[in-house]
């Protein structure tokens, strides 16, 4: 071991004021804990995504990372039982002259245990026919299903894509999936919002991984269908969109564009109006993910503010050849654009930031 390099962290009393403190020794971030009359010092940088361990909390002898709750022993730096190999460095320390000192050369080796997730693999499109994903966002009682106008047209668009355009198709109904709401990791720190999504990594029961897999790794075209509920897209749509923040967030935080050469189109069905505002929101979000749009990127239908006879609206949609043709034509425009993009392979995997969200300066400042 090299010669000891003792660093004065400051008055001991300051570190006794709370069970866990963040400290810096030169450029080294530390987590200093005070429990049962003893100090312990380990690295302040979490093995998972670099969270500030010294700003977390103590759970018994373990530090709990404030970002995603990984635990490390406050003295040994080892992960919680079952994950002992996942270790952060620990440091020698001493109390002298009323100060707490840490020996910076005493750091034990950091050892990260990989927690591989299948979604984290590089985005490489497998060869084959163009692939169309339908995302249904309507909510209903699955045991007692009812007619859904948006589902009707989405299903028709997919059937047409398969039969007329020889595309591979897949339908995902958000209503069939059990998934958690976004918990706002981005609000803790921009890098606490991770890809794959922090919830997906931590909760094997969360089923939004199916949407991530299909959207990022599988589809060339994504057709999103939503009803209008009080002037907005459905609550399930917004629940999904919040969780898709992790896909968009890779662009400003990692300069990594996960959505490449992909096309999105929308089917918006409302008993009442506000189609253009709903379409604007959907176009804005999917555009920020990196999707491209065909000319006339959405089809829509509503009966207007004063129409309350929704049973007749269902009948109208079911019987409307024009709306069904419109859905098929939307699929056709989207597939044509996707084929062109795939032939060119033109999409960037990173993006110049000047004038866009999250300048390099912002990233440097954190």
Q: Residues 348, 257: contact at Cβ < 8 Å?
A: yes
- The three-class DSSP label of residue 223 is strand
**Smallest distance, ligand FES to C-beta of residue 52, A:** 8
**Smallest distance, ligand FES to C-beta of residue 220, A:** 32
- Choose between 49 and 337: whose C-beta lies nearer to ligand FES: 49
- Choose between 64 and 219: whose C-beta lies nearer to ligand FES: 64
- The three-class DSSP label of residue 362 is helix
- Residues for the chain: how many in total? 366
CA–CA distance, 51 with 202 (Å, rounded to integer): 15
- Choose between 48 and 292: whose C-beta lies nearer to ligand FES: 48
- Choose between 49 and 323: whose C-beta lies nearer to ligand FES: 49
Contacts of 160 (CB under 8 A, 6+ apart): 327, 328, 331, 332
**Smallest distance, ligand FES to C-beta of residue 65, A:** 3
DSSP code of residue 127: S
DSSP assignment of 70-94, as one string? Answer: -EEETTT-PBSTT-TTSB--EEEEE
Does residue 49 bind ligand FES (CB under 6 A)?
A: yes
Does residue 48 bind ligand FES (CB under 6 A)?
A: yes
Segment contacting ligand FES by CB under 6 A, of 67-75, 108-116, 134-142, 159-167:
67-75
Does residue 246 bind ligand FES (CB under 6 A)?
A: no
**Smallest distance, ligand FES to C-beta of residue 20, A:** 14
Segment contacting ligand FES by CB under 6 A, of 8-16, 22-30, 66-74, 299-307:
66-74
Site string for ligand FES, 68-87 (x = CB under 6 A): xxx-----------------
167: tokens are 């595309």
216: tokens are 């990022």
**Smallest distance, ligand FES to C-beta of residue 53, A:** 7
Does residue 241 bind ligand FES (CB under 6 A)?
A: no
Interacting residue with ligand FES among 7, 34, 62, 67 (CB under 6 A) = 67
Segment contacting ligand FES by CB under 6 A, of 15-23, 63-71, 265-273, 296-304:
63-71
- Choose between 68 and 73: whose C-beta lies nearer to ligand FES: 68
CA–CA distance, 263 with 223 (Å, rounded to integer): 8
Contacts of 327 (CB under 8 A, 6+ apart): 153, 154, 156, 157, 160, 267, 299
- Exposed e or buried b for every residue in 285-307, given b needs 16+ CB within 10 A? bbebbbbbbbeebbbbbbbeeee
Binding footprint of ligand FES on the chain (CB under 6 A): 46, 48-51, 65, 67-70
């Amino acid at each position: 071991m090299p010669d000891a390099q003792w660093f004065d962290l400051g008055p001991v009393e300051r570190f006794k004021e709370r069970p866990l403190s963040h400290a810096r020794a030169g450029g080294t971030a530390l987590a200093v804990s005070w429990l049962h009359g003893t100090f312990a010092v380990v690295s302040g940088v979490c093995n998972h995504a670099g969270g500030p361990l010294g700003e977390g909390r103590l759970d018994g002898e373990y530090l709990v990372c404030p970002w995603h709750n990984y635990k490390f022993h406050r003295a040994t730096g080892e992960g919680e039982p079952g994950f002992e190999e996942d270790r952060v460095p620990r440091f020698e320390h001493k109390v002298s002259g009323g100060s707490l000192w840490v020996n910076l050369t005493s750091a034990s080796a950091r050892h990260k245990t990989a927690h591989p997730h299948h979604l984290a693999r590089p985005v490489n499109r497998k060869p084959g026919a163009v692939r169309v994903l339908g995302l249904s966002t309507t909510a209903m009682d699955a045991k007692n299903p009812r007619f859904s106008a948006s589902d009707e047209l989405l299903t028709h668009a997919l059937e047409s894509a398969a039969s007329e355009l020889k595309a591979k198709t897949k339908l995902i109904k958000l209503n069939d999936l059990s998934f958690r709401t976004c918990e706002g990791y981005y609000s803790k720190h921009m890098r606490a919002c991770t890809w794959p999504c922090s919830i997906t990594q931590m909760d094997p029961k969360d089923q939004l991984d199916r949407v991530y897999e299909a959207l990022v790794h599988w589809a060339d075209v994504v057709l999103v269908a939503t009803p209008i509920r009080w002037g907005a897209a459905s609550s399930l749509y917004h629940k999904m969109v919040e969780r898709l923040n992790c896909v968009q967030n890779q662009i400003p935080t990692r300069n990594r564009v996960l959505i490449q050469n992909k096309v999105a189109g929308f089917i918006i069905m409302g008993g009442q109006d506000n189609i253009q505002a709903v379409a604007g929101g959907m176009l804005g979000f999917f555009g920020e993910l990196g999707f491209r749009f065909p000319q006339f990127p959405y089809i829509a239908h509503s009966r207007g503010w004063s129409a309350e006879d929704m049973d007749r609206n269902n009948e109208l949609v079911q019987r409307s050849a024009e709306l069904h043709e419109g859905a098929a034509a939307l699929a056709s425009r989207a597939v044509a654009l996707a084929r062109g993009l795939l032939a060119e392979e033109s999409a960037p995997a990173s993006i110049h930031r000047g004038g866009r969200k999250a300048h390099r300066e912002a990233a440097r400042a954190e």
